[in-house]
Chains A and B, each alone.
Chain A
Amino acid sequence: MKTYDLTEAAVRDLNQALHDQSPECVEREFEVLNPKGQHNIACGIDQNLSVDIKGHAGYFCAGMNKKAHVTIHGNVGQGVAENMMSGTVRVKGDASQAAGATAHGGLLVIEGNAGARCGISMKGVDIVVKGDVGHMSCFMGQAGSLVVCGDAGEALGDSLYEVHIYVKGTVKSLGADCIEKEMRDEHIAELTDLLNRAGVDEDPASFKRYGSARQLYNFKVDNVSAY
């Protein structure tokens, strides 16, 4: 295992060392000490690595992640795992705004609460939040799933495309074109799998499902004639 103490090493050096593993992997385990809220820690990894960040991280932590398993033992700032492609990012504390923004794949687990716009414009990532999510979560979410074991803030799923949203607690309000939907067997199965993968012990039957009503402009075939 290789240890980087960010009071001594620069984030840029850490990230370079992580990137150096992509053509040929010679070191699979990394530990990052004293992150002290610095931004862009463990961004752009493209290898099956295990990275443990011991403390609070700043913005865009584990952004653009591919294949790696990144665990943050603390809170993270804005945009954790933004544009993730694959792998797993786990936040032991809270996440600030725009967690998992635009992410295409992989699994993001937030063991605390997530702030506003969690999963904004998500494109295939699975996000499991043990606590609450803030307002405008899943805004324009295109694909993937969002599981919220606590409560959701205002305008959940506004202008949603195909993301599956599961919420156990209360939803303050639904965004435009987002509706509650029937929980069928395939959804229970999907949610069971997501909870298992996230290591979260909750009863899938206690969740409600939300999705797109598909009534906005871009869902109407009549509008094709405009082009």
Chain B
Amino acid sequence: MCGIVGLYLKNPALESKLGELFEPMLIAMTDRGPDSAGFAIYGDEVGEGSIKLTLRHPDDEYDWEGLADSMRHQLRVELSWMQNANVTVFKVVGEEAQVRGWLEENAPDVLILSVGQSIEILKEVGLPENIAGKFNLKNMKGSHIIGHTRMATESAVTMEGSHPFSTGMDLCLVHNGSLSNHNRLRENLKREGITFETENDSEVAAGYLTWRLRQGDSLKVALEHALEDLDGFFTFTIGTRDGFAVMRDPIACKPAVLAETDDYVAMASEYQALTTLPGIENAKVWEPEPATFYVWERSA
């Protein structure tokens, strides 16, 4: 059992309150997932030619300034950074491969949680309430956010096994369920050049979507393929730079509820997590259909 939640704002006026609206949603799913929690928030975009990385080091006292200085000098890149607890966001004018390669060589202890132009991922072992507090979720701003509370089944209670998983630029996925063909699929995807950080089944689903999007699929087409190729139980909530999607497997034994108003689209494992949203009493509330995906995207 796990809890997943997502909030996609249709009304930009609410963007300054995204964290405040989302925090109680995440905490409401504690009884579905008390082992670890995390969220991916989209906003504060960097421009073309720049990337944003969320980096984590287990040591709270880690010398991020030193790391930033070395990267600046050795890669000759413009860089700014900001710290949030033991996680830091680096904004770099540069290429993903170059920055990733440099970090792997020069700071192997630093874990890359996400790379993109918009996404930031924050996750940790522990109760959702503590994690929301640690990262000051309620003061965060953005356009959309997806979160996960984990009750571990397929792999250990570790930071690495915590969701959300991101395997490509700005793509992120949270999963309630378990995949049965993840081992074979992981091997196939590795041959296609997708890299995995963990043995977790959900990361394979994220990797699969990254691969499809890399082939040029739209999010909708990628999800159509995912319904064919992923075997197992799943309710997914997926974030991209401009989009938000929800998909359930054909058996649909993992719960999901959607709510939509003029201001937002919200998703949760259980309705309980939606009750604090403004106007929820009059929202359109429904259960997503099996083997069906729902996509909301900002028009480019």
Contacts and interface: CB of A to CB of B under 8 A. Distances in A.
Interface of A: 36-38, 55-56, 58-59, 75, 77-78, 93-94, 96-97, 115-116, 134-135
Contacts of B255: 77-78, 96-97
Contact of A37 (B253, B272, B286, B289): B272
A12 to B, nearest CB: 15
Contact of A56 (B271, B289, B290): B271
Contact of B252 (A38, A59, A93, A97): A97
Q: Is the interface of A mostly helix, strand, loop or mixed?
A: loop
A94 B286 contact: yes
B285 A75 contact: yes
A115 B287 contact: yes
B198 interface: no
Given A96-B287, A135-B290, A116 B252 contact: yes
A37 B281 CA distance: 12
B271 A75 contact: yes
A78 B254 CA distance: 11
A58 B271 contact: yes
B124 interface: no
Given A37-B272, A97-B253, 12 more contacts: A37-B271, A37-B274, A55-B281, A56-B271, A58-B270, A75-B271, A77-B255, A77-B270, A93-B285, A96-B255, A115-B287, A116-B252
A59 B287 CA distance: 13
Nearest to B288: A115
Nearest to A38: B272
Interface of B: 250, 252-253, 255, 257, 270-275, 281, 285-287, 289-290
Contacts, number: 45
Given A36-B275, A77-B255, A134-B290, A56 B285 contact: yes
Among A37, A96, A116, residue most surrounded by chain B Cβ atoms (within 10 Å)? A37
A52 to B, nearest CB: 16
Contacts of B275: 36-37
Nearest to B285: A75
Given A77-B255, A116-B252, A94 B272 contact: no
Contacts of A94: 285-287
A108 B9 CA distance: 37
Contacts of B250: 135
Contacts of B273: 37
A77 B286 CA distance: 10
A212 to B, nearest CB: 23
Sorted from nearest, which 10 A-B pairs have the closest CB atoms?
A: A37-B271, A37-B272, A36-B275, A56-B271, A96-B287, A115-B287, A116-B252, A75-B285, A37-B275, A37-B270
Contacts of A97: 252-253, 255
Contacts of B290: 116, 134-135
12 contacts: A36-B271, A36-B272, A37-B275, A59-B270, A78-B255, A93-B285, A94-B286, A94-B287, A96-B255, A115-B287, A116-B290, A135-B290
B282 to A, nearest CB: 11
B92 to A, nearest CB: 43
A157 to B, nearest CB: 18
Contacts of B285: 56, 75, 93-94
A77 B271 contact: yes
A34 to B, nearest CB: 8
Contacts of A75: 271, 285-286
